[in-house]
Structure 1
Amino acid sequence: MPTERTEVQVRPGVEADLEALTALYNHYIRETPITFDTAIFTPEERRPWLLSHPVDGPHRLMVATDPDSQEVLGYATSSPFRAKPAYATSVETTVYVAPHAGRRGVGTLLYKALFEALSGEDLHRAYAGIAQPNEASARLHERFGFRYVGTYREVGHKFGRYWDVAWYEKDL
């Protein structure tokens, strides 16, 4: 019986993804206000970030790839929300999709896999900060049950101007 071709596969991130993940993130650093990092990374500089997202536990890295080429199409993470111990049951989530892979449902597949992976963890809330404007990201987060809780006005300075960040939260 023939099987239907899957357009995107999602799996935990691995060391072999480091170069592609770094290149994808560097695109967002150079071209957009979506991240407030301002200097690009080498893969070696980005390695501690990758290693801080093991295949189990509350801090995960999920990677979307093309099943034929194995090209990285995007990634989603859950990371510590804040460093203080009382925040341990909260995570900050984020998703990055390759520019040419937008509008294919990659972000949706990544968040679906991420939240399924987190379902057994001792977590209470997920938070997401969305640099404004970014309607596509707001819609994605709302589809996954995130609620808007407020905006930090002009909290980041990049590309010669100030940017707002809207904050969303989700019960886990």
Structure 2
Amino acid sequence: MSTIRFEPIEEQYLPEVLSIYNHYVEHTTVSFHTELLSLAQMRAQIINVPAHYKSYVIIEEQDAQDNSVVSNAESTPVIAGYILITPHKNKQAYDVTAEVTIYLKPGQTGKGLGGKSLTFLEQAGVASGFHVLIATVCTENANSIALFERYGYEKCAHFREVGYKFGRRLDIASYQKIIG
């Protein structure tokens, strides 16, 4: 059995977070970066933001269980991904709105982590005083679109051919949910 917890991203988590993100940069259209980020670039995007915006690692703890032997073994923590609440736009009137993002480590999808992460992000958003959360997704990312729609996010924008990656023109769509 495993449990999930969320911890604020601190310096010791940055190499793993960077590795997760750069996987998406290099292999998918989930990220619209076309060049790998450096540790310094990742640090600037995640750690040095105003206090009411939050970044968390998703830690999955696998309980050490062996029915034949009584064990005092602790659970084994694994970073399963990371989640962000970031500024929607850099203008004061938008301070009641935040962008939400979920990046799961390859191999960690299909375990319910996306839904648990989104619920956590919404609770953190309410606690930080946000009124609206927005998710912007490449329209090729059907799993993310399905997740946001399942949790009550409504499509509010569709931008055609605004990205170019892997020799293809890409659309993005924005989904929003009023939370407070």
CA RMSD of aligned residues (A): 1.6
Q: Which residue of 1 aligns with 2:130?
A: 123
Contact 1:131/1:166 (8 A) holds in 2: yes
SS of 2:77 mapped into structure 1: coil
SS of 1:63 mapped into structure 2: strand
Take 1:169 and 1:14, find their aligned partners in 2: how far apart are those partners? Answer: 28
Contact 2:139/2:145 (8 A) holds in 1: no
| Structure of larger gyration radius | 2
Take 1:69 and 1:14, find their aligned partners in 2: how far apart are those partners? Answer: 19
Q: Which of these residues, 79, 84, 89, is aligned with residue 82 of structure 1?
A: 89
Q: Deviations over 1:108-165 (max 9, x none)?
A: 1211212112212222211111101222101111122210112100010011110000
The runs of at least 4 consecutive aligned structure 1 residues that moved more than 4 Å come to none
- Could you tell me how far 1:53 is from its partner in structure 2? 4.9
Contact 1:126/1:170 (8 A) holds in 2: yes
Task: Number of aligned residue pairs: give it.
Answer: 166
Q: Which residue of 2 aligns with 1:30?
A: 26
1:72 aligns with 2:79: yes
Q: Which residue of 1 aligns with 2:7?
A: 11
Take 1:42 and 1:148, find their aligned partners in 2: how far apart are those partners? Answer: 33
Matches within 5 A, 1:1-172: 5-53=1-49, 57=52, 59-67=53-61, 68-172=75-179
Q: Deviations over 1:14-59 (max 9, x none)?
A: 22110000000000000001111111112222111221357x52x1
- Give the unaligned 5+ runs of structure 1: none
User: When the two structures are superposed, what TM-score results if normalisation uses the length of structure 2?
Assistant: 0.85
Return the letter of the residue paired with 2:124.
A
Contact 1:62/1:113 (8 A) holds in 2: no
Contact 2:132/2:176 (8 A) holds in 1: yes
SS of 1:33 mapped into structure 2: coil
User: When the two structures are superposed, what TM-score results if normalisation uses the length of structure 1?
Assistant: 0.89
* Greater per-residue strand proportion: 2
Take 2:127 and 2:5, find their aligned partners in 1: how far apart are those partners? Answer: 22
Q: 1:120 to 1:10 in 2, by over 3 A?
A: closer
- Give the unaligned 5+ runs of structure 2: 62-74
Return the letter of the residue paired with 2:58.
A
